[in-house]
Chain A
Amino acid sequence: MSPRRAATGGLLDRTRTVRFTFDGQTYDGHPGDTLASALLANGVTLVGRSFKYHRPRGVFTAGIDEPNALVTVLKEGVREPNIPATRIELHDGLRAESQNRFPSLDYDFGALNQLGGRLIGAGFYYKTFMGPVIGPLKGTRFWMLCERFIRRAAGLGRADYGKDPSRYERMNAFCDVLVVGGGLAGLMAAEAAAKAGKRVILAEQEPAVGGFARWSGETIGGKPASVFAEQLAERLAGLDTVRLLSRTTVWGYYDGNTLAATERVCDHLAKAPKGNPRQRHWTIRAGKVVLAAGALERPIVFPGNDRPGVMLAGAVRRYATEHAVLPGDRTVLFTNNDSAYEAAVAIRRAGGHVTAIVDVRPSISEAAAALASEAGVVPLTGQAVVGTSGGKRLAGVTVQRFDAATGALSGDARPIECDSLAVSSGWQPVIHLASQAGGKAHWDEALQAFLPPQPGRSWTGAGAFMGRMTTAEALASGRDAGLDAAGKKPSRAKLPEVAPQPLDIAPAPVFEIKAKGKAFVDLQHDVTADDVRLAHREGFVSVEHLKRYTTLGMATDQGKSSNVPGLAIMAEARGIAIPEAGTTRFRPPFSPVAIGSIAAERYGDLRPDRLTPMHDWHVENGAAMTPAGLWHRPLVYAAPGETVEQAYIREAAAVRRSVGIVDVSTLGKIAVKGPDAAEFLDRVYTNTFSTLPVGKARYGLMLREDGIAFDDGTTWRLGENDFLMTTTTANAGPVMQHLEYFLDVIWPDLRVHLTSVTDAWAGAAIAGPNARKVLEKCVAGTAVDNEALPFMGIVEGAIGGAPVMICRLSFSGELAYEVYSGAGHGLHVWEALMEAGEEFAITPYGMEALGALRIEKGHVTGAEIDGRTTARDLYLDWMLSKKKPFVGSALMDRPALIDQNRIRLVGVVSLDGRPLGGGAHIVEKGSLDDLGQSIGHITAFCYSPELSKYIGLALVRGGKARHGTRAFVSDPLRKRFGPVEIVSHHFFDPEGRRMHG
């Protein structure tokens, strides 16, 4: 039997015992417990240390607003820091640790910070740590030295670096009505909307619906409130138009009534069932939203209000009723409103002892007095708690006479012994989602709370969220909201009867008791009432300045309990009303969300692998694959022991000597069809395609509207009105979108259809002096000689029985062909080509060799067409038609774009026999110790087996004018400096004899 657990009562499964550990110590609890309730039941009151002063802290709330009791959960071999103990459902084997303490929770060196006290008040760090202006610690050095210690002291829990082994998933949901909050108001709303024929989703963050009804101890329709809620939930669960989601927090209200929610699917289980996600990210598109998120209690700020044992009154009530746990042997309540009196009764009913009720109000309602007497105590009205005593747990409070109108204390301070103090300064509706939705909160003087903005078209509200604090109002407003969301009028039908609640829900406007000692507003961040006043003194008076200067409300609880008291203190300092001090705009998430859960199915699978039809062959044949956008492409097919460089040199040499084969399936391919296809191509390409005969291909260049080079590729005319355009691998998507934009938006009169056929075709390029011989061996149905298949010609035939289309074009400068087959035949054709090429030692080559061959030939790719270069920069002027306008023609000759001193394409040759380097710069003079002025950079380089030299392409100021001059490659990042010669970028066979031959 746990020391603080009542013998009976509570919504627990007492037949089962659950064993868990906290800081290595083993404890027992029951299903239905949270870690917080179980620790309290075991008499554990010290559970954490605060952020700045490392003060001992205990459980303060019973829910999502918990600022103190943050623990690290150890599960599946990884740490999950900063989880409120109030939110952790107990399960067998649960392991939790306290945090932000060293060496232990009981003895924490960090507590020395408390000695700093006033020295380290709000914003102190802005005023110091700047260090000397001269000497070894000048500049930022002194600060960075101090910062190392500050960073170690700051932070809360410790994360580790092991991969989170969990699975996360997403779910897309659609509904007519989303109800946020499964308390009575939410349940009623869901039922009303469902009965009106709507598809409803109800999300409740707790494991069970019912909310307040679970621990109010009230009677509804003659039944205990918790039973009433359960039965209502059961009825809803039976409807197939309703989806009830428990353990689901709606945390984001986005445009278009899209809401984000996280369902904790398996966190409460010792082990997730196979294939089940730990958490599920719901994106819910709702026709209308009913916000029934309830209200959270606020504390009163007074000196020593952070001692373990101080707790919100509603939390005490909840623990006593729902978990049958008493937070102490002797409890004092301290309040400015009636709700705490219900807590007193709950304590009494659970068998506990209420020592005193301290009420700042001069008098109280009869109903409250009746509750006090039921709790066996005479309220101390017109008094306030002005201090607490005790070390790591509360030992007593000091009480003094208090004038609620002036805030003045008088008379003697009297100590009261107690080990538990329950405080309340009234309730604040949980308006976060409404604020996210865009409305501005307004202040309600009676409730001393911010109410949500007026409901609009997208959402409506119900229950405590709307400031309807009683159970009867929750039922009525819930039903009306549900009907409203369903487009129906409010109902007059009778609601289940609730015992009338005569309590005065309006709190006295008292949020702080000013007395000597540290009084905490933001418990987690250790922001005191004096800090708020210091901010005021220094001019940080707007609510945003207050927040940023003091860090008030920026802790993991996001100020759920500290916002209103903080504002009240600032308002008082400024001599203005609370609403004039303003409220901050709430932003997603409402409460912290596991980052992996939002990544959902993309956690561990960021982007899909895009594979060519020959992918498996490449891998099986030793290719090292490299990512190219989403694609995977062979880099080299290295033989055992070969380096990448050795491999590509071998591959490239084989092409020049005999024949090689490369997978070009990744090139973008677009079918361009229709009577205006040729006209369209004339407009988007810089050169002319309308003159291209059927059965021929042409190299084309596209510019952007601003005249900068965009993409290049060959386009094949397969029929009068039928073209196959190829693009670079990287630009396949952007080119498609570019073309679609022009057809849809600019030239809707053109009759052209575009279809992406990238995936329809497998492409194998074979290149080298023996390329034709390979084709001759395996191609059926067509001749491939120079006459039948001249340069840039296209023929159709078959290889190994599979239909192919062959175009004779060359990227390498060799006699070369691109063989296209249906993608499903790609591997078959590839293997047939390999077999036919066997006698010529056909060599598969990868991206590196492809690059080397194109560099030798001086062909440009994405490294040169980098979004900044013009056609003229790349000496592609010959492709700019003078006979017609084209996309980019109007702006391509602006003064700065035709400046001769732009960086332009050249070739460079290493003169010291050492490699160059992509991204190395070119300088006219200098050294690694004295870097010269950059005149350009190398875009690509390789060892040219043909020239037996390291060569490269470069963009160099002035371009061609520098041919034949000497310069230096300057690559300080790789510590390389050496002489180069600037030459034409056409290194190899500039006349093109080989590819035309």
Chain B
Amino acid sequence: MAEYSALSLLKNALSGNRDWKPAWRKPAPKPSYDVIIVGGGGHGLATAYYLAAEHGITNVAVIEKSWLGSGNIGRNTTIVRSNYLLPDSIRFYDFSVKLWENLSHELNYNVMFSQRGVLNLAHNPGQADAYIRRGNAMRHGGGDALWLTREEIARKVPGLDLSGSARFPVVGGLLQQRAGTARHDAVAWGYARGADRRGVDLIENCEVTGFLRDGDRIVGVETSRGEIRARKVGLAVAGSTGRVLKLAGIDSFPIESHVLQAFVSEALKPFVDCVVTFGGGHLYMSQSDKGGLVFGGSLDYYNSYAQRGNLPTVEDVMSEICAMFPSVARLRLLRSWGGVMDMSMDGSPIITKGPLPGIYLNCGWCYGGFKATPASGFSFAHTIARDEPHAINAPYTLSRFERGAVIDETGHGPTPKLH
């Protein structure tokens, strides 16, 4: 398949764009593979890509019940960052940012990772200290972080309510410059194309309906397109983890599924450059290249698999964005959507071998899945290929809950709705 480049665009334009080839094949499933990845979202596709690219394992199928990228990779607010507090998180997400920085080249697909920065606003001295603690943790972990004064913020982000009389006046902000946004769908498509080019079969409209067993061991999957056997089955089905695990006989798991809504405004000329988060509540916002303001807030706060948001949450989010940017009140909301999040018991993911022989599990991404896509795929591929975790995902075990070794960024404990 041809490389994408300015030259190939020109060549194809001259021939009326009639010679472009499909970005990936649409193969029928083979009877067996070395590895099956269940879930053709960002993480599943990335895992397949890295299995092929890093470990030379190409006899791989990604099976997806719907269209590729139909899960949360295509319904998030596109933020990439590693501004975390705890060392395990910083290590993992910083690794991810490094992969992001070269991802377009790696995939020969422009995923439009734009390092426009993520700015967390602090609104009282205690919150400022908490953000500074986080920023310092990032710096000590090898990442980048800056503390901005209110004056510096005013210069960087016009339109913010920085008045002293604001309900939650801004006292400063934590800026991670290497953070930013990427084009979410392109990440799925880029990994899909990259995996496909290396021989991975991407099988759409193929739903897992059960697992094939040999004793305790999982040796493949039953699907809507027949049985497919594999030596190893990796699950990357965040949002549906509970449902898929039930097919494997696991009825109870440290995850709850919750709906998170996201929003986009009508397109505007450049309005805000970096990603900004509001500390007087819970809100994050950026502007897409197309011009829409993309933003979101908290979960809908109850178990759901419905991809259906509720109105009070919409109202809360709109109230907060108006408090942060009072001129946004007059702009118009264009679209909202809901994604189903795997909310884990400490807010951190699980990337591990098990919980049954033959199964490998990648789940529990809470809000953080999009930015994690490269590192998640990379470390999950490592775990599947080597049967042991990579250093960056070693802490993300399932047993950590029993041991008390939780990685709790928000400090809310086993209350998934609050992570």
Pairwise interchain contact A708-B413, C-beta atoms closer than 8 A: yes
**Nearest CB on A from B78, distance (A):** 13
Pairwise interchain contact B132-A919, C-beta atoms closer than 8 A: yes
Task: Tell me if A243 is interfacial: C-beta within 8 Å of chain B.
Answer: no
**Nearest CB on A from B160, distance (A):** 9
Cβ contacts A874-895/B at 8 Å (1 or 0 each) = 0000000000000000010011
Pairwise interchain contact B104-A130, C-beta atoms closer than 8 A: yes
Known contacts A599-B329, A606-B281, A894-B403; decide if A143 and B104 are in contact (CB<8 Å): yes
Rounded to whole angstroms, the CA-CA distance of A252 and B17 in the bound complex is: 40
Interface residues on A, range: 35 or more
Pairwise interchain contact A595-B333, C-beta atoms closer than 8 A: yes
Task: Tell me if B47 is interfacial: C-beta within 8 Å of chain A.
Answer: no
Pairwise interchain contact A538-B22, C-beta atoms closer than 8 A: yes
A351: B residues at CB distance < 8 A: none
Q: B5, B115, B327, B402 — which one has the most chain A CB atoms within 10 A of its CB?
A: B327
Q: A438, A587, A605, A863 — which one has the most chain B CB atoms within 10 A of its CB?
A: A587
Rounded to whole angstroms, the CA-CA distance of A871 and B321 in the bound complex is: 38
Interface residues on B, range: 35 or more
A125: B residues at CB distance < 8 A: 110, 112
Pairwise interchain contact B289-A154, C-beta atoms closer than 8 A: yes
Rounded to whole angstroms, the CA-CA distance of A901 and B4 in the bound complex is: 52
Within 8 A of B (CB), among A423-474: 438
Partner of B132, one of A539, A609, A920: A920
Task: Tell me if B23 is interfacial: C-beta within 8 Å of chain A.
Answer: yes
**Nearest CB on B from A347, distance (A):** 33
Partner of A931, one of B139, B267, B403: B139
Within 8 A of B (CB), among A579-604: 587-589, 592-596, 598-600, 602-604
Partner of A130, one of B108, B265, B328, B329: B108
Cβ contacts B92-115/A at 8 Å (1 or 0 each) = 000000000110110011101111
Pairwise interchain contact A143-B112, C-beta atoms closer than 8 A: yes
**Nearest CB on B from A202, distance (A):** 21
Stretch binding the partner chain, chosen from A77-85, A382-390, A488-496: A77-85
Q: A283, A542, A627, A921 — which one has the most chain B CB atoms within 10 A of its CB?
A: A627
Pairwise interchain contact A606-B334, C-beta atoms closer than 8 A: no
Task: Tell me if A934 is interfacial: C-beta within 8 Å of chain B.
Answer: yes
Known contacts A82-B267, A540-B23, A706-B413; decide if A933 and B333 are in contact (CB<8 Å): no
Known contacts A159-B327, A595-B329, A919-B136; decide if A537 and B22 are in contact (CB<8 Å): yes
Q: Which residue of A lies closest to B404 (CB)?
A: A894
**Nearest CB on A from B65, distance (A):** 12
Rounded to whole angstroms, the CA-CA distance of A605 and B167 in the bound complex is: 7
Partner of B266, one of A79, A119, A156: A156
Pairwise interchain contact B413-A82, C-beta atoms closer than 8 A: no
Pairwise interchain contact B320-A867, C-beta atoms closer than 8 A: no
Stretch binding the partner chain, chosen from A59-67, A677-685, A969-977: A969-977
Pairwise interchain contact B330-A164, C-beta atoms closer than 8 A: yes
Pairwise interchain contact B132-A599, C-beta atoms closer than 8 A: no
Partner of A867, one of B9, B69, B411: B411
Known contacts A128-B110, A254-B311; decide if A558 and B334 are in contact (CB<8 Å): yes
B102: A residues at CB distance < 8 A: 139
Cβ contacts A604-636/B at 8 Å (1 or 0 each) = 111101000000000000000011100000010
**Nearest CB on B from A250, distance (A):** 12
Pairwise interchain contact A164-B326, C-beta atoms closer than 8 A: yes
B224: A residues at CB distance < 8 A: none
Rounded to whole angstroms, the CA-CA distance of A436 and B379 in the bound complex is: 38
**Nearest CB on B from A504, distance (A):** 36
B136: A residues at CB distance < 8 A: 919-921, 934, 937, 970-973
Pairwise interchain contact A147-B335, C-beta atoms closer than 8 A: no
Known contacts A128-B4, A540-B23; decide if A923 and B140 are in contact (CB<8 Å): yes
Rounded to whole angstroms, the CA-CA distance of A80 and B327 in the bound complex is: 10
B183: A residues at CB distance < 8 A: 126
Cβ contacts B402-419/A at 8 Å (1 or 0 each) = 111110101111100000
B68: A residues at CB distance < 8 A: 545
Task: Tell me if B155 is interfacial: C-beta within 8 Å of chain A.
Answer: no
A706: B residues at CB distance < 8 A: 404, 406, 413-414
Stretch binding the partner chain, chosen from B122-130, B243-251, B359-367: B122-130
Pairwise interchain contact B114-A147, C-beta atoms closer than 8 A: yes
Known contacts A127-B9, A544-B67, A931-B139; decide if A594 and B330 are in contact (CB<8 Å): yes
Q: Which residue of A lies closest to B182 (CB)?
A: A140
Stretch binding the partner chain, chosen from B207-215, B230-238, B268-276: B268-276
Within 8 A of A (CB), among B3-48: 4-6, 8-10, 12-14, 16-18, 20-24, 26
Pairwise interchain contact B24-A539, C-beta atoms closer than 8 A: yes
Pairwise interchain contact A895-B17, C-beta atoms closer than 8 A: no
Pairwise interchain contact B333-A127, C-beta atoms closer than 8 A: no
Pairwise interchain contact A147-B327, C-beta atoms closer than 8 A: no
A542: B residues at CB distance < 8 A: 66-67, 204
Task: Tell me if A150 is interfacial: C-beta within 8 Å of chain B.
Answer: yes
Rounded to whole angstroms, the CA-CA distance of A971 and B319 in the bound complex is: 35
Task: Tell me if A109 is interfacial: C-beta within 8 Å of chain B.
Answer: no
Task: Tell me if B135 is interfacial: C-beta within 8 Å of chain A.
Answer: yes
Pairwise interchain contact B320-A589, C-beta atoms closer than 8 A: no
Rounded to whole angstroms, the CA-CA distance of A161 and B70 in the bound complex is: 36
Task: Tell me if B147 is interfacial: C-beta within 8 Å of chain A.
Answer: yes
Partner of A155, one of B20, B114, B174, B270: B270
Known contacts A155-B290, A606-B320, A627-B168; decide if A81 and B266 are in contact (CB<8 Å): yes
B321: A residues at CB distance < 8 A: 595, 599
Rounded to whole angstroms, the CA-CA distance of A133 and B281 in the bound complex is: 41
Q: Which residue of B lies closest to A437 (CB)?
A: B308
B354: A residues at CB distance < 8 A: none
Rounded to whole angstroms, the CA-CA distance of A588 and B333 in the bound complex is: 9
Pairwise interchain contact A896-B403, C-beta atoms closer than 8 A: yes
A896: B residues at CB distance < 8 A: 400, 403-406
Pairwise interchain contact A594-B331, C-beta atoms closer than 8 A: yes
Pairwise interchain contact B70-A606, C-beta atoms closer than 8 A: no
Pairwise interchain contact A119-B268, C-beta atoms closer than 8 A: no
Q: Which residue of A lies closest to B109 (CB)?
A: A126
Task: Tell me if B226 is interfacial: C-beta within 8 Å of chain A.
Answer: no
Task: Tell me if A362 is interfacial: C-beta within 8 Å of chain B.
Answer: no
Within 8 A of B (CB), among A78-134: 78-82, 117-119, 121, 124-130, 133
Task: Tell me if B332 is interfacial: C-beta within 8 Å of chain A.
Answer: yes
B8: A residues at CB distance < 8 A: 127
Pairwise interchain contact A151-B270, C-beta atoms closer than 8 A: yes
Pairwise interchain contact B266-A867, C-beta atoms closer than 8 A: no
Pairwise interchain contact B70-A919, C-beta atoms closer than 8 A: no
Pairwise interchain contact A972-B4, C-beta atoms closer than 8 A: no
B159: A residues at CB distance < 8 A: 161
Task: Tell me if A688 is interfacial: C-beta within 8 Å of chain B.
Answer: no
A609: B residues at CB distance < 8 A: 167
**Nearest CB on B from A227, distance (A):** 35
Pairwise interchain contact A140-B104, C-beta atoms closer than 8 A: yes
Task: Tell me if B158 is interfacial: C-beta within 8 Å of chain A.
Answer: yes
Pairwise interchain contact A150-B408, C-beta atoms closer than 8 A: no
Task: Tell me if B323 is interfacial: C-beta within 8 Å of chain A.
Answer: yes
Pairwise interchain contact A626-B124, C-beta atoms closer than 8 A: yes
Partner of B5, one of A127, A144, A627, A931: A127
**Nearest CB on A from B161, distance (A):** 8
Task: Tell me if B185 is interfacial: C-beta within 8 Å of chain A.
Answer: yes
Pairwise interchain contact B311-A258, C-beta atoms closer than 8 A: yes
A720: B residues at CB distance < 8 A: none
Pairwise interchain contact B332-A78, C-beta atoms closer than 8 A: no
Pairwise interchain contact A867-B413, C-beta atoms closer than 8 A: yes
Partner of A158, one of B129, B265, B268: B268
Known contacts A438-B308, A934-B87; decide if A530 and B17 are in contact (CB<8 Å): yes
Please give 4 more A-B residue pairs, beta carbons under 8 A apart, in addition to A128-B6, A539-B24, A548-B69. A157-B268, A544-B70, A588-B314, A862-B126
- Report 14 cross-chain contacts, Cβ distance below 8 Å, ordered by A residue: A80-B330, A126-B110, A128-B4, A140-B180, A155-B291, A159-B271, A254-B309, A548-B74, A556-B267, A556-B332, A589-B336, A595-B265, A598-B333, A920-B136
Q: Which 6 A-B pairs have the closest CB atoms?
A: A867-B411, A596-B329, A155-B291, A918-B129, A919-B132, A894-B404
